[in-house]
Amino acid sequence: MKSAPALAGRPLRLPVLLLIVLATVSGIAAAASETAWWEDAVFYEVFVRSFYDSDGDGIGDLNGLIERLDHLNDGDPSTTTDLGVTGLWLMPIAESPSYHGYDVEDYYSVDPDYGTIDDLRRLLDAAHARGMHVIVDLVLNHTSSEHPWFVASRGRASAFREWYLWSTTLPQMLGPWGQQVWHFGGTGYYYGLFWSEMPDLDYRNPDVSVQMFDVVRFWLDEVGVDGFRLDAVRHLIENGEDQENTPATHFWLKAFYAVAKGWRPDGLLLGEVWDTPSAIAPYLDRELDLCFEFSLADAVLSGVRNGRTATIVDALSEVLTTYPDGRYAPFLSNHDQARVMTQLQNDEAKAKLAAAILMTLPGTPFVYYGEEIGMTGDKPDERIRTPMQWHEDAVAGFTTGTPWEPLASDREGRSVSAQTDDPDSLFSTYRRLIHFRNASAVLRTGDLIVTSSGHLSILSYLRTDGATTVWVLHNLSSFAARPSALNASNGADLPPGTYEAVDRLGALPVSRFRIGEDGRLEGNIPSLAPRQSVVLELRAI
């Protein structure tokens, strides 16, 4: 049985006035900081409950994750047997009554299912020793209905009544998806955007803000995490029936950003703003460091499915003209979406192609656990979050007990052990691409210029950092294809002349071709096999 946390969390170490001063000063410091370790990172999203069980209770835990860190990064840059990721995002690990953890019961503890704060500190030490940073989910928008703050708020005279949004009568309004958002709580109706068991905090109350600023202090300063993935931040503060992206939300996040950077100037603040690029971009003005790019993820998988470049080109063009350089996190799927292999109808060649696109884009890429071995899953959410498949045995090497959730039924051949030594496996493809990106400065931080290939099914772009220029080509079709042009969408065409092209992925022989005055290609033009990706380093000769 879980012990109840203290009613108001831990005693605050800073008075409100000092927090405000800190926010102002640290905001200036954060603006001047050039620290951005995440620009070079490749992240791996981990659902601890499903990763590896160290004690046989059927539930993954922090000690299990520590045991499996060498799969992700063995700490030796000279080896290529590990996956090569350099960042970890842990889905919620704070104490919660739910399996998913997005309804927090105590912001100052690790859920006993996963271990202890000391276990987390050991994980951080082990990850840091391997050159990996670790961020954790921080759920600001709402708490659990079982959180002592909310339990106390049910009392009409309680000081915690104003920590949440209560109404004596039922407001006649629905949520942004047409859902019921006001729920009866015995002493009135309370607002819970996502679920009746997830009541929203009221950030118009300064006591709430100060308390949550202290939560930030605890995780960044006392525990030592490297930042946060911020859940559902576009919904923090409502304005009547306007329940997303409100001016008050932006205003509050600027203070949050300053306070967080005061405790940890190099701490990553990554936002889940599930919206269009134009709606996301304002959050990058001293509110968040990065945001996930949902429209690009949809476009990449759509283009890979239908074999046409148009949707990807359109999405890339919007991203490049909307965001500050590299200030976004590309991905393919996450814990709320059908898995990549499911969306691609179990086509491994398409999954490899999608991975190649992801790992050659700017920004900070994220890989959802199990994507690298082709795990499948679709709604309901539990089936997207099934245990990691390590081996080919009855419990996939996940536990010595009974898994908390039944394993995927189509898991044969989709395990780490089955794919590790197969150079043509999906796992080997991910491993090769991540190590290649880690070794390539131009892929990590170079500019991207969309180019026309002259072929409807060849996605084409240049990556350049001034010192190196590579031409990235992805054949989205099921037939061999050859580019016929190299025209930059921004007009910054390569000068006409003869070029030598070396495929840094090692698939194609060295070739030479000429770029004409009109961008048309002549000579030994490389031909791409179906679903093939190449990264051609260009040198004028």
Per-residue pLDDT reduced to its tens digit, 282-333: 999 999 999 999 999 999 999 999 999 999 999 999 999 999 889 999 999 9
Q: How confident is the model at residue 33 (pLDDT cuts 50, 70, 90)?
A: very low
Q: How confident is the model at residue 489 (pLDDT cuts 50, 70, 90)?
A: confident
Distance in angstroms (rounded) separating the CA atoms of residues 295 and 537? 29
Contacts of residue 168, defined as CB under 8 A and 6 or more positions apart, other chains included, come to 188, 189
| pLDDT for residue 138 | 98
Backbone angles phi, psi at 74, to 5 degrees: -90, 0
Q: How confident is the model at residue 277 (pLDDT cuts 50, 70, 90)?
A: very high
pLDDT digits (tens, 9 = 90+) for 185-199: 999 999 999 999 999
Beta bridge partner(s), residue 230: 138, 271
Question: Which residues are marked as active site?
Answer: 231, 272
pLDDT digits (tens, 9 = 90+) for 68-92: 999 999 999 889 999 999 999 999 9
pLDDT digits (tens, 9 = 90+) for 156-178: 999 999 999 999 999 999 999 99
| pLDDT for residue 372 | 98
H-run or E-run covering 313: helix 310-322
| pLDDT for residue 35 | 59
**Token pair listed for 102:** 């997005």
Please write down the HEC assignment for all residues of 447-474. Answer: EEEEEECCCCCEEEEEEECCCCEEEEEE
Backbone angles phi, psi at 184, to 5 degrees: -75, 130
Dihedral angle at the C-alpha atoms of 418, 420, 421, 422, nearest 10 degrees?
A: 70
Q: Let me know: does 385 contact 47? Beta carbons within 8 Å.
A: yes
| pLDDT for residue 30 | 44
pLDDT digits (tens, 9 = 90+) for 114-152: 999 999 999 999 999 999 999 999 999 999 999 999 999
345, burial (CB in 10 Å: exposed 0-12, middle 13-18, buried 19+): exposed
| pLDDT for residue 89 | 98
Residue type for position 495: P
pLDDT digits (tens, 9 = 90+) for 263-275: 999 999 999 999 9
pLDDT exceeds cutoff 80 at 491: no
| pLDDT for residue 466 | 87
pLDDT exceeds cutoff 90 at 11: no
Q: Where are the beta strands (DSSP E) in 334-402?
A: 366-368
What value does the mean pLDDT of the chain take? 93
Q: How confident is the model at residue 507 (pLDDT cuts 50, 70, 90)?
A: confident
- Residue 303: how many CA atoms within 13 Å on its side-chain side? 30
| pLDDT for residue 529 | 96
Q: How confident is the model at residue 28 (pLDDT cuts 50, 70, 90)?
A: very low
Report the pLDDT averaged over residues 340-351: 98
| pLDDT for residue 299 | 98
Q: How confident is the model at residue 15 (pLDDT cuts 50, 70, 90)?
A: very low
| pLDDT for residue 34 | 63
Q: What is the pTM of this model?
A: 0.94
Distance in angstroms (rounded) separating the CA atoms of residues 508 and 528? 9
Beta bridge partner(s), residue 535: 472
Q: How confident is the model at residue 21 (pLDDT cuts 50, 70, 90)?
A: very low
Residues in the chain: 541
